Chain A
């Protein structure tokens, strides 16, 4: 069943919408949640919460891209759950490693010490940055820092050597730092 048909089921308040959503997207949502939480039960709860949120959001929402809509909910729920459980520092395993890698992208604070930007501005800058990447680089970057996949999982998923994945990410982070520096963005 394609996404438009599933969304129509939501609008018709048919519970088949939930079954179809689970059948089509539960695995991906679980993968994102597990990457962040590293706990199967917590990940399953996040997936269930995602379905509930989707049911409550549609209608009135009519997402153009259902997969992205659901995965965003899952990611946010997972991060909230993790933050609640670990007040001080986020991340263990691949999430912590991903955040540590992103620290390389922080622009020089001396460039504009008084600038304070909203999160939406950072997101806009990230969108601009992503638009400049090649599709392969962008997919690898997103799998690492949005989906929080491990290097090994990305390498297996795309049939690349781990060294190649690391090299792609290294160059992408370098470019992100350069782009944030040019924009004068302070994170």
Chain B
């Protein structure tokens, strides 16, 4: 048997390769202690819980200080473009009312600038007994591209030059469009179906270098095959709703455009069907 010859011939390879492999790996006869396996899983979860608890405490603290008038956090996150015509909101405070600063006027045709002084020093607007924070920040300062996050509909995402053409037309049954956004020259699109999901991050490598580290493991689009995709998927060993689910995380390179795929609950066949498409033009 000829493959046997390769297996046998391997016995004569240079000692340094044998030593390198012998030294680097933990012996299979003595796998990682069980406590370490659990620790690897529990530590990230514990860290997430700590962060969530800290965020909740901060939010509660702010709510208490603002007398129940704290702004909706969701509205403060940069998202849709809006022009704000109103003044900067007033902030409730325990500090005795002082003369309020001049409200910031909107720039002609632009968004309102955030008046740091009004908030930091808790100036209350004259005559207002229980002021509330009214303004919304929905857009980063003009020209600050690094902070710009643009929320999109699916049609708007598909219309984006270059990147939009790589959003698959055929999505596995049952998955519905959740969200799309563009940030730092990367177009991200998200579909979901109950607890399952498909996430794509699409970037043009001639424009951004932030994804170049993905290239060595990327599949060339011309070489897409069920075998290659299957090699990059595994079934979840977690218990509960994720038990036995297909999990995938890999990239496909279509010329200069990199499509990063992350999914749960999608078979390799469905992923192949989704990713094999002709790029128009």
Contact = CB atoms under 8 A, between A and B. Distances in A.
Interface of A: 27-28, 30-31, 34-35, 63-65, 67-69, 71-72, 75-76, 79, 89-90, 95, 98-100, 102-103, 105-106, 119-120, 122-123, 126-127, 130, 135, 138-139, 142-143, 145-147, 149-150, 153-154, 156-158, 161-163, 166-167, 170, 187
B72 interface: no
A60 to B, nearest CB: 18
Contacts of A63: 15
5 contacts: A35-B28, A102-B6, A103-B2, A154-B25, A170-B227
8 cross-chain pairs, A with B, having the tightest CB-CB distances, nearest first: A68-B15, A153-B28, A142-B21, A157-B25, A103-B3, A122-B9, A68-B18, A123-B12
Contacts, number: 141
A72 B11 contact: yes
Interface in B25-77: 25-32
A10 B147 CA distance: 68
Interface of B: 1-32, 217, 227-228, 231-234
Contacts of A158: 24-25
A110 B97 CA distance: 92
Contact of A102 (B7, B12, B15): B7
B15 A156 contact: no
A71 B25 contact: no
B234 A161 contact: yes
A122 B28 CA distance: 29
B234 A126 contact: no
A147 B19 CA distance: 11
Nearest to A167: B231
Contacts of B13: 123, 126-127, 130, 142, 146
Contact of B20 (A75, A126, A142, A166): A142
Nearest to B40: A159
Contacts of A122: 5-6, 9
A153 B27 CA distance: 9
Contacts of B217: 167
A27 B30 contact: yes
A149 B26 CA distance: 12
Contact of B1 (A89, A105, A119, A146): A89
B20 A119 contact: no
A103 B5 CA distance: 10
Contacts of A135: 20
B10 A138 contact: no
A103 B2 CA distance: 7
Contacts of A127: 13-14, 17
Nearest to A163: B234
B12 A68 contact: no
B20 A139 contact: yes
Contact of A99 (B7, B29, B232, B233): B7
A75 B7 contact: no
B117 to A, nearest CB: 51
Nearest to B25: A157
A75 B8 CA distance: 9
Given A31-B27, A90-B1, A146-B11, 8 more contacts: A65-B18, A68-B16, A89-B1, A99-B1, A99-B7, A102-B3, A106-B3, A142-B20
A154 to B, nearest CB: 7
A40 to B, nearest CB: 11
B22 A68 contact: yes
